Amino acid sequence: MTKADLVFTRGAVHTGDAARTRATGLAVTGGRITAVGHDEVRDLIGPDTEVVDLTGKLLLPGFQDAHIHAVFGGTELAVCDLTGTVGVADYLERIRAYADANPDQEWITGSGWSMESFEGGLPTRQLLDSAVPDRPVYLTNRDHHGAWANTRALELAGVDRDTPDPADGRIEREADGTPSGVLQEGATGLVARLVPPITAADRLEGLLRAQRLLHSLGITGWQDALLGEFNGQPDPSDAYLAAARSGALTARVNGALWWERERGAEQIAELVERRAASAHGRFRAGSVKIMQDGIAENFTAAMTSPYLDGCGCATANSGLSFVDPLALREYVTELDALDFQVHFHALGDRAVREALDAVEAARAANGRRDTRHHLAHLQVVHPDDLPRFARLGAIANIQPLWAAHEPQMDELTIPFLGPERASWQYPFGALLRAGATLAAGSDWPVSSPDPLAGLHVAVNRREPETEDDRVFLPEQRLDLASAIAAYTAGTAHVNGHDDAGVLAPGLLADLVVLDRDILTGPPEEIAAARVLRTYVGGELVHAVD
């Protein structure tokens, strides 16, 4: 009998296999799982076998992330980081400290401020001027759909009261029309184009920094949701290819090539070429990212009915559809015929419907193909559209961390949606009951990439460690096994990793060891668990001593 390279014994093993969900031992040989069972697995231990004692621990399939911006997240860790606080004074202190520590930087850049920190979600240029008056400052917010610029940055970009709003964005303004300092959606590019570009070396360093972080969270693979130039940001594809060619890319990565929304079908031939050129080792780019709308907090998510104003009356604004819905059907049909997966950003219920209509058009024209189209974010889904996911084979790509009561939800979203539409938010349970396949992701650096935090919210519909005892739409909670499946088998399916996501003989040994069995512990303690070990193809890529 061939002895194993690696054996896990005497613990809890959650296989993700519906026919055999629990085991106590698992063996790995040559990067693949060779046995799953109980005491008999110990027969595969030889003199050179590494043995991991799982007593009191839990072995799971490695987590995957279905929607993440790893290179952007990794590079942002090296600039002015405003995450982890919502205090305006904290923001200004961090900005001043970063500027003082980097006196030679022409621009002060960074990310992570939260809309909830400011009245109406809108900081001012004057506030930023008080921190850095002499150099341009450009800071994206935590969801990356808006940016905060100081007066110097706006002046250098030539953005003034006479500058028109771009078709895909909005310049927030003072009473006399002067830009107030916040740029929404496509308007961010008016200033971002002047920000000194991130170098290829910076991008590679950012990717490797991100990979270390993600492995420490038990993540073995992901789909990068934006490969291409966007709002002045360079294409991160070169970082993935460089890491893959050198062997430094230990994660399994599928990239989503950016659809330039100001262009049409003429770009499809270029996408075909980019797909062919973007395949090496553990990296490939077989998806196309189409951003169909914006976000609810700045009223750019596309809704089937108008947003409300502060008094609860209907406005004239129903959000933005960045791609013409009829043209979208044509584009998706052609991409589907070329075996591209389409990765939609669809946040409002109109955008969700437009994306589903496009998938339906592709199915009608091309038949049922194994293209695994998926809709990310799904903040508001009209009940009529819930059964369409299963019927069309469209995968629901959920970001569980957002499905909780917190100020951005309670103050900047619910009042402007109204009671009925607010009750349609993040319908994870309804989608699962309707037969949809769920995949899960974080949208990092928009929010934390920690899958355990995401699992916590998916199950509890409350943020970890919150003092708010309200449960956000409790009927939409997931059971923990289903939530784990979304972060493992569901996302592996989206990413085309058909030999991962479940622990069964013959499949890849992409594994994570937790410090406790979250399946038998209290659900309110899920986020307290910690990752002890992460393996990709049987190779240890993260360990806690």
pLDDT tens for residues 114-127?
Answer: 888 998 889 999 99
pLDDT at 201: 96
How far does Cα 224 stand from its chain's mean position? 8
Q: 145: pLDDT confidence band, cut at 50, 70 and 90?
A: confident
* Average pLDDT score, the chain: 96
Mean pLDDT of 282-292: 98
Nearest to 529 by CA among 444, 441, 448, 453: 453
- Give the DSSP letter string of 198-213: PPHHHHHHHHHHHHHH
At a CB cut-off of 8 Å and minimum separation 6, what does 461 contact?
403, 404, 471, 472, 473, 474, 476, 477
In this predicted model, what pLDDT tens digit does every residue of 27-78 receive, in sequence order?
999 999 999 999 999 999 999 999 999 999 999 999 999 999 999 999 989 8
The pLDDT value recorded for residue 293 is: 97
pLDDT at residue number 19: 86
Residue 143 confidence class, pLDDT cut points 50, 70, 90: confident
The predicted pLDDT at position 231 comes to 72
Contacts of 446 (CB under 8 A, 6+ apart): 69, 142, 143, 144
Q: Name the band, by pLDDT with cuts 50, 70 and 90, for residue 167.
A: confident
Q: Is residue 543 over pLDDT 80?
A: yes
Does residue 508 have a pLDDT over 90? Answer: yes
Distance CA 503, CA 318 (A): 45
Q: Provide the token pair at 90.
A: 């904290």
3-state secondary structure (DSSP) of residue 521:
coil
pLDDT of residue 208: 98
Tens of pLDDT along 371-402? 999 999 999 999 999 999 999 999 999 999 99
Residue 1 has pLDDT above 80, yes or no: no
Q: Cα–Cα distance between 283 and 371 in angstroms, integer?
A: 18
Query: How large is the average pLDDT for residues 7-28?
Result: 96
- Residue 471 is classified by DSSP as -
Q: Which helix (H) or strand (E) holds 171?
A: strand 169-173
Q: How far apart are CA 335 and CA 338, in angstroms?
A: 5
pLDDT of 132 > 80? The answer is yes
pLDDT above 70: percentage of residues in the chain: 100
- Which tokens in the block code for residue 305? 């009915």
Alpha-carbon gap, residue 90 to 17, rounded angstroms: 47
Q: How confident is the model over 186-241, as pLDDT tens digits? A: 899 999 999 988 899 999 999 999 999 999 999 999 999 999 998 767 899 999 99
Extended beta strands in 186-251, E state: 219-227
Whether residue 484 contacts residue 14, with contact meaning beta carbons closer than 8 Å, is answered with yes
What is residue 461's predicted lDDT score, i.e. its pLDDT?
Answer: 98
Query: Residue 105: is its pLDDT beyond 90?
Result: yes
Sorting pLDDT into bands at 50, 70 and 90, what band is 421?
A: very high
C-alpha to C-alpha distances, 495 to 287, 343, 350, 507, nearest whole angstrom? 9, 11, 26, 15
Supply the pLDDT for residue 442: 97
